[in-house]
Amino acid sequence: MHLIEPLGLLRGSAACEAIQRRLALPLAGGPAAFSLARLIGAAPGDNPGEIVPAGAVPAAFAPALARVCAAPPPWAGLAGGGPWVMGILNVTPDSFSDGGRHADPGAATAAGLAMHAAGADLVDIGGESTRPGSLPLAPDEEQRRILPVIRTLAAAGVAVSVDTRHAATMRAALAAGARVINDISALAHDAAAAGVVAAARAPVVLMHMRGTPQTMAAHASYADIAAEVVRELAARLAAAEAAGIARADIAVDPGIGFAKNDHGNLELLDRLAILHNLGCHVLAGVSRKRFIGHLSGEAEPALRGPGSLAAALAALERGASILRVHDVPETVQAVRVWRGLHPR
């Protein structure tokens, strides 16, 4: 799989002028543009990393160039082309940042309604913690935690996604009113999951991860993390399409913090634009992650809001269109200002 890594990113009037003068090409349909491209060979070991002007990409890379330049299709019925804010609602006793806060269905429902009122485009409800080292949860218990919350929020007009890797939970959550499936295993954990998503024609987020939450720390070694994440996600995309899921219904998540160390997280975030080789909307989930704590010196996850905003805005600059966050009001405000600075 030939890959193009967009470099020399431009925004605003500079991007428009550079595209008009054929000095740059649109990134994911614009308004951002890229003036340079790193060429990454088709095989994992064939990676010269040559950098060329965006307008001088050789013919062998034409399919990759077309995907990088094209705007992703509309997704999940959300308005506009993004960026969109996905609020995190963990109905768990043990999530790394907010475990226990929303374990009660009433508290979880109130929090979801507050996120919606604050401007969240989606509320992502999860009942199983997947923090590093967390233990698996039975789907029955997962459903007991989340289904009442999904039903109430969906009935109130909230667009709900469900954070699960279990096919039975996916099926039950969709029946309860969830709109989107968000699977950290990219539909690899449960053999029945892809069939559930395909049958429902549900939009889905495929996240990159190696191993499981219990073992992923042992799989954080990469020769070229950005290229390998893209290629491994491409394999999961191909499997999803083979199961009958339309590519237009798929968004991708590089899995910051999942089978990545601090150095890998930073490099992957810095090179996020390479994910546009997949032709899908890109979700960035950086909120309150451990690497932000290490960079900032803040040990308490709930106090990492400013660092999370800095990382989220960096993701937007590199073409992310979905931000998965804990701090919804603050992120919505930041995104509105960012949109004002970067009008479409």
Residues classed as catalytic: 289, 324
Query: Which tokens go with 336?
Result: 């509105």
Query: Which residue blocks in the chain are alpha helix, DSSP H?
Result: 12-20, 62-69, 105-118, 139-155, 167-176, 193-200, 225-242, 262-270, 290-296, 305-317, 328-341
Which 8-state DSSP code applies to residue 248?
Answer: G
How far is Cα 178 from Cα 185, in angstroms, rounded to an integer?
Answer: 19
Instruction: Give the strand pairing for 3-10 and 33-40.
Output: antiparallel
Among 30, 298, 16, 48, smallest CA distance to 5 is for 48
Distances (CA, A) of 332 to 38, 131, 255, 336, 337: 33, 25, 22, 6, 9
Residue from 36, 17, 21, 14 nearest 273 by CA: 36
142 within 8 A of 134, measured Cβ to Cβ: no
Cα 73 to chain centroid distance, Å, stands at 16
Cβ-based burial of 292 (10 A; exposed 0-12, middle 13-18, buried ≥19):
buried
Q: How far is residue 207 from each of residues 89, 91, 188, measured CA to CA in Å?
A: 18, 20, 10
Q: Name the nearest CA neighbour of 203 among 150, 128, 124, 148.
A: 124
- Long-range Cβ contacts of 200-204 (<8 Å, 24+ apart): 200/171, 200/174, 201/246, 201/249, 202/170, 202/174, 202/249, 203/75, 203/76, 203/77, 203/179, 203/249, 203/250, 203/251, 204/180, 204/240, 204/245, 204/249, 204/250, 204/251
